[in-house]
Structure 1
Amino acid sequence: MSEQHMSPVPMIRLHDGTEIPQVGLGVLRIDDEGVTPVVESALAAGYRHIDGAAGYNNEGGVGRALVNAGYATGERRRELWVTTKLRDSEQGYDSALKAFDRQIGLLQLEYVDMYMIHWPTPFDWRSGETWKAFVRLREEGRVRTLGVCNFLPEHLERLHEETGEWPTVNQIELHPTWQQREVTAFCREHGIAVEAYSPMARGADLNAGNGTVERIAAANGVSPAQAILRWHIENGTIIIPKSVHAERQRENLDLFGFELTPEEHAAIDALDGPTRAGHDPLTFSYA
């Protein structure tokens, strides 16, 4: 579909009233120079949600793209959702505030829409102190909403005990063969929106279930990637598929001209398995 015929991306309302576009662009593993044209092409394709992080080492390149495309200030800035994440090594009250100053400078923005704790690091827990810094940034109007990534229910509960707040979003590895149903159920119960990274298991799930995804895609006249992303959309999940190719970026946004049948949706549900593509939140620290 061409851009003008593409259905608009739905907004997901978070528990604090902010609204986030349900589809965004992920920019993991793209270098600082290379990320600029990738973000520019995504904005041209109609993306209004960019998901970044200090740990990706490309915030400067994202910032240049936002400036080049005219989305860093003014009316257009208000049309755009920009997420970034704190490095795990910079968790803590003072260090988080200092890190944010650096990050917002690289992004060339006056505020970011969502600031996130990247990993819970339960073996070196500083999320409570970090969150207090996040609250200050929110009160100052430099951040609109506060989220976490890779938090399991025990981490969400501990954060709530220490701060009295639930994050608005929990960004987790989530795809047909790794559905994290206990985590997603806990989040829904507490009004926390679920956001999926690696929504296709970095491509591994495109052939899941002995051709199940491919058959569903063919029946709907779409690509296997679109079939999986549509399954996420129908689950109410926020998704941030990554692609450096303009054509695939457009394809990943073009999810609203078809629906899976209940049987097709259930067939993808049935692909759940025991193997993650990424890291274990209990032991991992990133950047």
Structure 2
Amino acid sequence: MENTVRLNNSVEMPRIGYGVYQIPSSITERCVRDALSVGYRSLDTAQCYGNEHAVGKAVKASGIPREEIFVTTKLWGGRGYKDTVVSIDDSLTALGMDYLDLLLIHEPTGDFHEIYRAMEDAHKAGKLRAIGVANFLEKSYRSLLETARIVPAVDQIETHVFRQQKAMKTLLADHGTIHESWSPLACGQNGFFRNPVLKEIGNRYGKSNAQVGLRFLYQQGIVIIPKSTHLERMKENMDILDFELTQEEMARIKALDLDRSMFGWW
């Protein structure tokens, strides 16, 4: 799948990736191998998911050259510079890799200015091709910019039809940070898979609610990382490139925005 976005340091990142949040480590290797087999070339994991090792095993077992797979992980529980240095090496060891394509701070806790400084130094040392953040909303994002030497390449935040993050999307674009969605299908919350607006639009194209919701984000330039443990759903979540939503359809979906989290985390 050659469909990428150029990050602010010219690294190419696939616009559709595969997320492994809440996938048990016992089946993660199989799921990632399935995802790679149907064309995914971007994988998103995190230290707190407990499945980095399985992701790394799947990448190695796939036979696909490492440089053709974009691997993201996220730091968890760091307090400052020194433990971040150790944490980065721990992830590389768990994944069995010499470098990461993208490393994110998982949330704005601890001394995230110092955590990010350690990431900047690891980037300079060649361990990280790109660095960024996750769950940084306006206050924490602006605060980080005050001390960052490298503008975050990506901010991964809860984004779906019910929480569209319009203000953050504009803010990130103004500073050259790519907007990436976690939970692009809202984890099925608020009746996502039964939503009549998505269903009516999908019927016009022979597409599911999931595909319409993903296309809505994709069409705005938002990177998406849908998750499924089922091969057919993995294929379905990628199959959003053969139709385009009209301005009227986009407007109807924009009207679904509740401007609040479905999970109450951030």
Match of 1:55 in 2: 48
- 2:129 is paired with a residue whose SS is strand
Figure out how many residues of one structure are paired with residues of the other and give that number: 264
Match of 1:127 in 2: 112
Question: How many Å separate the matches in 2 of 1:262 and 1:80?
Answer: 34
Match of 1:138 in 2: 123
Deviation at 1:183, TM superposition (A): 1.3
Please tell me whether the aligned partners of residues 120 and 127 of structure 1 are also in contact (alpha carbons under 8 angstroms): yes
Q: Deviations over 1:235-274 (max 9, x none)?
A: 0000000000011101111111111121111111111014
Match of 1:34 in 2: 27
Identity, in percent, stands at 36
Match of 1:224 in 2: 209
Please tell me whether the aligned partners of residues 23 and 49 of structure 1 are also in contact (alpha carbons under 8 angstroms): yes
> 2:108 is aligned with what amino acid?
P
Higher mean C-alpha displacement, 141-150 vs 155-164: 155-164
* TM-score normalised by structure 2 residue count: 0.96
Match of 1:178 in 2: 163
Name the structure, 1 or 2, with higher relative contact order (CA <8 Å, separation 6+).
1
Match of 1:77 in 2: 66
Please tell me whether the aligned partners of residues 213 and 227 of structure 1 are also in contact (alpha carbons under 8 angstroms): yes
**Poorly superposed stretches of 4+, deviation over 3 Å:** none
* TM-score normalised by structure 1 residue count: 0.89
Q: Deviations over 1:203-247 (max 9, x none)?
A: 232333xx0000001111111111111111100000000000011
Deviation at 1:9, TM superposition (A): 4.5
- 2:187 is paired with a residue whose SS is helix
Match of 2:193 in 1: 206
CA-based RMSD: 1.2
Deviation at 1:100, TM superposition (A): 1.2
Match of 1:284 in 2: none
The one of 60, 67, 75 aligned to 1:67: 60
Please tell me whether the aligned partners of residues 81 and 115 of structure 2 are also in contact (alpha carbons under 8 angstroms): yes
The one of 87, 92, 99 aligned to 1:104: 92
Please tell me whether the aligned partners of residues 22 and 239 of structure 1 are also in contact (alpha carbons under 8 angstroms): yes
Matches within 5 A, 1:239-254: 239-254=224-239
Please tell me whether the aligned partners of residues 217 and 223 of structure 2 are also in contact (alpha carbons under 8 angstroms): yes
Please tell me whether the aligned partners of residues 156 and 166 of structure 1 are also in contact (alpha carbons under 8 angstroms): no
Question: How many Å separate the matches in 2 of 1:91 and 1:28?
Answer: 23
Question: How many Å separate the matches in 1 of 2:33 and 2:46?
Answer: 17
Question: How many Å separate the matches in 1 of 2:151 and 2:117?
Answer: 13
The one of 73, 96, 104 aligned to 1:116: 104
